[in-house]
Structures are given as C-alpha cells and as structure tokens.
Structure 1
Amino acid sequence: MQHADIAIVGGGIVGLTLAAALKDAPCRIAIINKGLIDQPLGDKPGARVSAINQANISALKKADVWQHIDASRANPYNAMHVWDKDSFGDIHFAGNDTGGELESDTLGVIIENLALVNGLAHSVLKQDNVVVIDTTIERVLSSSQQNMLMLENGDALSCRLLVGADGANSFVRKQANFPITFRDYEHTAIVANIRTQQPHENVARQAFTPTGPLALLPMRDPNVCSIVWSQTPDAAKTLQGYSDSEFCNALVAASNNALGPVSLETSRTAFPLTMRYAREWAKDGIVLVGDAAHTIHPLAGQGANLGMQDALALAALLGTLLEEQKDIGQLRYLRPYERARKTEAMKMIAAMDGFKFLFDGNDPLKKLIRGVGLAATDKLSAVKQAFVNHAMGL
C-alpha cells in the first residue's frame, strides 16, 4: 500500500506541468503513467509540435523547466501571417503589435511535444515530493475521505485528490462518471514536417482554404516547417491517397506558394478532430485538467496552451489550500478552479466554432465578410493588439 496526497494520472505535457508547478508545495505527489515519462528524441525533429505562448513560457521558467528543454528542438517565432486563400483578406502580426508587453519580439515558441515532455520530466524527476509509478489503474474506489486506486501491477495507492491528466479518452473521467458533450468537427488533421525552398524567417503562417485551414509552423531548421492541414474527411482521404510529390504539389497550391516548392521530411499521419467538453470537471476527491476536460480544433494552436493553463491554475489553488491546511479533496474548495477554467475552455470552443464556420467553404458573402474583416483588423492597431495579446496569453 502506497499513499500520496495528489495522484496525477498521465505523464504528458499537462500532467507534468501540474507536478512541476507544485515543486515547492508541502505534499506528496504520485504520477501514474505507463512507460517512461521521458523518451529519447529521434535523429530528426518529430512532426507533433505545439506553439507555446508567452504566458506558459514564463510559467515554465519560473518552475525551472525552460532551461532543460533541448534548444535544438524549439524555435521562437516573431511574426504570424494569416490569409484567406483566393481572397484579398490577410493579416500580419508581429512582436511590436503587443503594445510593448513583451521583453523581445518573440511571440511564442514552436516546440516538439516530446522535447517539451522531456524538459518537464527532467525537472519533475528531481523533485523530492514526486514519485513516478510505471503502471495503469484498473479500478478507482472512492469514498468521502480518499480514493483507493487498484493498479495493474497488483499494488494499491490511496490519495486524497485524483487528477485526470490522461487525455481525450480519459480513464479518470469515465471512472468519475463525468458527463461529456462532444461533436465531430468534420475535419481530419494531416500532420507532417516539410522542407521548403524558401526560408520560413521564423514566421508562423496559416492559410484558410475552402476545405479547411493549413498551418505552417517554423522549426529550428530555417527551411523546415511542421504542418497541420485540417481538411474535410473526403479531402483528407484524397490527400492521403496521393504520392509524396502529388501531396507536396497540393500543399504548395493550398499555401499560394508561400515558401516555394516543398518536399516531405517525415511521413504523413492523420487523425479525426472532435470537440469534447466535460460538463463536470470536479467532484469530491477527483478533478480533470487538459484534454481530459476539453479538446478543441487546432486551427489556432491553443490546445496545449489551454491545458497548461488548467494545470497552472489548479496548482495555484492547491498550493493555497495546502498552505492554509484546507482539504484539497473537497469539492467546495475545487469549485473556483472548475468555474474559471470551464469558462475559459467554453470561450475557446466558441471562438474555434466561429472561426470554422466563417472560414468554411466558398460562399461569396462569407468570403466578403472574412476578407473585409481580416483587412480591417490588419489596419486597426488596437484590435490587432488585442488579438495578439490574447493569443500570447498576456
């Protein structure tokens, strides 16, 4: 029998961010994760990346994590270019559009997910208050005073607070019987790394096409981008059936030849996109963070940032409760976190739904509205500043 004050299920970005943010808290933390929480990086950069905003970068620096991230697998970007394909609307964002709130022109950093996890793991594994258990949970037995976790390796673990940071198909969420709302975005995301003829110049680019958005995210190599190409299922199936050269030609056409001819650096992977929103995030002894509580469309690149902010908000609350010697497992004390983060998640889901509706298809009226909107926003510095500050988490 083992005991922890807090058991975090999931050793990914969000779960490790929560543990790292609690490094000075007077509590014992168990991270339950099947397999090692750190993995060796491949010889070439992987295609699964996140655009981490300034708010989360600052938090990682405060938690002594940032300096442990492999700099060769992270690349700052200092500008964004968004346009509507086959339309006059486009908009440019740069560091000086933030109203002077940034120390530099850097808007964010594109990081390989595995490199970010490894940086977090490097710090968390050195924490005196953390133990990592390589197993899975078979069953959760909950009472008003504690949770008893029956583990696959035959052991048992008791904890006062069980945190579900175990992704979109969360076992913890299912065990807690939290109801969930979900909707098919009717998009499939194709992910890969590409080599471009022209350098990306540390600019993050996004083109809205009639069948879905295409993001080109600048990697450390000045001629390599990670792409996230969200398409209708039929269009995605067609693209996946193309040869590499046919796929690259279609990509160049979709991006209006923004970076010249391209070639594939990695194989293509595809996965369907679904909106999920847990209608409850907390009960006595159990709470959700990250994709366990919500998943959103990747068109704004905010999924990882939203989950990390969940973790940081929960860590701040738990730190206060522990200092005040209050029961971290009582629902009444977890309510402020649930209310605040559910609101932020719902705002982001609504924004993504709005963008997807407005930029879908070739309807002439919608094309006119979005063209005028992008062009006007590009000229209105106050509006542009508000957009950029929000995207940066400032």
Structure 2
Amino acid sequence: MQQHDVLIVGGGMIGAATALSLAELGLKVVMFEQHQPQAFSNEQAFDLRVSAISLASENLLQDLGAWQQIHQWRACPYRRLGVWESELAYAEFNADAINQPHLGHIVENRLIQLSLWQQAKQHQGIKLILGQPITDINQQTDSIAVDTEQERFIARLVVAADGANSFVRQQAKIGCTGWNYQQSAMLINVKTEFPQQDITWQQFTPSGPLAMLPLLGNHASLVWYEHKDRIKQLAQLTNDELTAQIAQHFPAKLGEIEVVDKGYFPLTRQHANKYVQGNVVLLGDAAHTINPLAGQGVNLGFKDVLALRNAIADAIANGTSWHSATVLNNYEQVRRKDNLLMMTAMDGLYATFSNDSPILKAVRNIGLFAAQRVPPTIKNKVLAYACGL
C-alpha cells in the first residue's frame, strides 16, 4: 500500500487547482473524480455554466499553467460593470480606475476544469483516480485512510473539494448552517443582436435581478432571478416563448436576442461549522455556498486554494510539519473571515433589493446614485477588493 501526502476528493475547478498547487510544492497528490471533463472543440455551443473569473483567480490560473490554454479556447474579457435599479440610479465600475486592462473574464466552468486537468495529467506528482467512488474515510493518529471498492489509500491529509453535498464533510461529521432562498436563478444562453460587449451588468427589479454576462462574438449568458415557481414556469417554455418573455422583462439595451439553451438552479446559502477536522480540510463549495448575485462563488473557492497553498508552503519553508493542526487552522482563520464577510454582504444585497417597500426603494436608489459619485479613492478600493487584488 503506497503512502501519499494528500488525497483530494473532487476533481472540479477547485479540486484540480488544489492538486496542482500542492504538487508544485513537492507533495505526492491523488485526485479522485468520477468523470473527466469533455474535450473542447471550436464548434461546441457555449456551456450554460459560466463564471466571472476575477483578476486574482486569473493570476492563480496563470501560476498553475492553465490560463494560456483557457484564453486560447474561449474567454470573454469585460472592462466595465454596471448596476442599476432605475435610470436615475446607475453605478458603473471601470477597469481604467484601477489601472487594469480588464476586470475579469467570463469563462465556461468546464474549460477551466479541462485546462487544469491537462496540466494535472502531465504532472509527475499527481495521480488521477477515475470512477472509484469513496466508500469510507478513517482518521488515524497521524494519517488518514480513504477506501474505494477497489483499494485503500493512505495519506497525511484529505482535501474535501466534492461540492455542496460533500461526502467527505459528512464523513468527518462537520455540520453546516444555511438556508434556501425563495428565488431560483435561470441561466439562458442567447445569440445577440449586438457584437461582443465589454460590460457585464445587473438590473434590480421588484421580482429579482436580471443580469447579462458577455460571451465571445454575438453571444451572451443571461441570468434571471425570480421566485422558484415563476422560474419553473419559464423553464417549461419553448425557446421562442422564452425569447418573447425576455423581450418583455429585460432592458431594451440588451437588444434583440435568440434563446439557444436554458437551465435553472435553486439559490442556497450554506456554511460549514468548521473547515478543518483532524486530517480533513474543506475547500470551495464543500465549505461554503453563496448567493450568486455578484458571481463570487468560484472566486472564493480559488482564494481557498491560494490560502491553503500559502499556509502549507510557509510550513515547508520553515521546516515544520505542513499537515499540523496549526497550519490547517491558520488556513481556516484566513478564509473563514473573508468568506463570511462576502456571504453576509451578498445576503444584505439580497434582502435590500428583494424588498418592494417604497422607502427601501428610495434608499437603494440613493445608494446607487451615491456609489457613482463617491470619491474615486473609495470606489477604486471597493472595486479592487471585488477583483481580489
């Protein structure tokens, strides 16, 4: 039975980035995943699942050798971010204000995962285990055992990167707090009248936000937040019928569109009671899921990856035990505070903008009006923080 350093359960974007980050430190890593990502071809339609990759996440992907390939495939830059509720209250943030060429890129999740996998397959320090579900996890004094139906793996550390319904988290007996929101989000890929735009925007309405994420060429990803029952109704429409509904509810600046694909998911908030339990550490959605209003979910996950890498790298450099409770607790302290801050901010936005009170509406519009006119130093610091800088 071979001894490993780290066993990573989950080979999505966060799991694959963690595998590469830790293997680059010289650790022997095993990554478990049920299915490998589908290969890319230029003829493929855009996937529904896309992410607004921040500058900080882009920097991490560059460090891991994955960004160049992603950029060659499909990645749409955006330089501006617009937010409004009424025409009188419009706030816009621009990359020029923080001396950056762009604020981020809209990228299909699968392409991020695929590029990371290509790097992982080439790395001698990473072993990929496909199609072997984890059946049991046993913590020992200074190691941890992970069993599949075929074999047992022993390591110093297990990383749970297996999503919101994490099996590893459950096996480690780590509880969660959270709730379901009353809204769902519908993802809609469309062909657009206008060519590729350099702005992503969000309009707040009494029934929920409407968002546009630019994609390459005459394409875009729309996000429609609404009550769960309303979203279920919209999901049953034909593409032509949904196109007509979008024309009625989305702002005219969207232009004429044609629906290509659609899907929806419920909005939930979930936060693990702890990120570390013995030899188990949680990252990404296994540790936290967030209201997607500002598209920060995967960026928070990549921040987790970076924080864990830095904590372990510092321990290795100092000649101390890299998998000790002290090192892992340092990771949790760094990330828990930041994740909780972002989750609370998104909940505040959700609560504020989902209320149709005339008084609150006036306060919201004053707030957006003021946001456009605050001193540049303050506005730019907020923008830089949102970009992860």
Please give the per-residue CA displacement for 1:32-82, whole angstroms capped at 9, x wherever unaligned: 111225644571111110111111111221222211215342111111111
Pick from 287, 293, 309 the counterpart of residue 293 of structure 1. Answer: 287
Pick from 321, 345, 369 the counterpart of residue 363 of structure 2. Answer: 369
Q: Aligned in 2, Cα 1:132/1:37: closer, same or farther, shift over 3 Å?
A: farther
Deviation at 1:242, TM superposition (A): 3.0
Contact 2:200 2:213 in 1 (8 A): yes
Deviation at 1:201, TM superposition (A): 1.8
- With 245-254 and 131-140 compared, the bigger mean Cα shift is at 245-254
Question: Which blocks of at least 5 consecutive residues in structure 1 are unaligned?
Answer: none
Contact 1:51 1:110 in 2 (8 A): yes
Indicate the residue corresponding to 1:241 in structure 2.
236
- With 109-118 and 37-46 compared, the bigger mean Cα shift is at 37-46
Q: Aligned in 2, Cα 1:37/1:324: closer, same or farther, shift over 3 Å?
A: farther
4+ residue runs over 6 A deviation: none
Matches within 5 A, 1:87-106: 88-98=88-98, 100=99, 102=100, 104=101, 106=102
Indicate the residue corresponding to 1:128 in structure 2.
124
- What is the SS of the residue equivalent to 2:65? coil
Pick from 179, 189, 197 the counterpart of residue 185 of structure 2. Answer: 189
Distance 1:113 1:364 in 2: 39
Indicate the residue corresponding to 1:45 in structure 2.
46
Is structure 2 residue 113 aligned with structure 1 residue 117? Answer: yes
Please give the per-residue CA displacement for 1:280-338, whole angstroms capped at 9, x wherever unaligned: 11022110000000000111000000001101110111122233343333222211110
Please give the per-residue CA displacement for 1:172-219, whole angstroms capped at 9, x wherever unaligned: 100000010011121111112111212342211111121211221001
- What is the SS of the residue equivalent to 1:328? coil
Distance 2:159 2:273 in 1: 16
- What is the SS of the residue equivalent to 1:3? coil
TM-score w.r.t. the length of structure 2 is 0.95
Contact 1:197 1:262 in 2 (8 A): yes
- What is the SS of the residue equivalent to 2:31? strand
Please give the per-residue CA displacement for 1:145-168, whole angstroms capped at 9, x wherever unaligned: 11111113x111001100000000
- What is the SS of the residue equivalent to 2:209? strand
- What is the SS of the residue equivalent to 2:252? coil
Indicate the residue corresponding to 1:169 in structure 2.
165
- What is the SS of the residue equivalent to 2:320? coil
Is structure 2 residue 142 aligned with structure 1 residue 145? Answer: yes
Question: Which blocks of at least 5 consecutive residues in structure 2 are unaligned?
Answer: none
Distance 1:39 1:343 in 2: 37
Deviation at 1:4, TM superposition (A): 1.2
Alignment RMSD: 1.6
Distance 2:357 2:239 in 1: 31
Please give the per-residue CA displacement for 1:257-292, whole angstroms capped at 9, x wherever unaligned: 1221211122x1111111000011102211000000
- What is the SS of the residue equivalent to 1:97? helix
Distance 2:247 2:320 in 1: 57
Is structure 2 residue 275 aligned with structure 1 residue 265? Answer: no
Distance 2:87 2:103 in 1: 26
Q: Aligned in 2, Cα 1:159/1:38: closer, same or farther, shift over 3 Å?
A: farther
Distance 2:268 2:9 in 1: 22
Distance 1:363 1:196 in 2: 34
Deviation at 1:87, TM superposition (A): 5.7
Please give the per-residue CA displacement for 1:325-370, whole angstroms capped at 9, x wherever unaligned: 4333322221111011011110011001100011113211111111
Indicate the residue corresponding to 1:231 in structure 2.
226
Contact 2:66 2:112 in 1 (8 A): no
Indicate the residue corresponding to 2:208 in structure 1.
212
Indicate the residue corresponding to 1:319 in structure 2.
313
Distance 1:213 1:300 in 2: 11
Distance 1:280 1:25 in 2: 25
Pick from 375, 380, 388 the counterpart of residue 385 of structure 1. Answer: 380
Distance 1:114 1:89 in 2: 36
Contact 2:49 2:109 in 1 (8 A): yes
Identity %: 32
Indicate the residue corresponding to 1:11 in structure 2.
11
Deviation at 1:142, TM superposition (A): 0.9
TM-score w.r.t. the length of structure 1 is 0.94
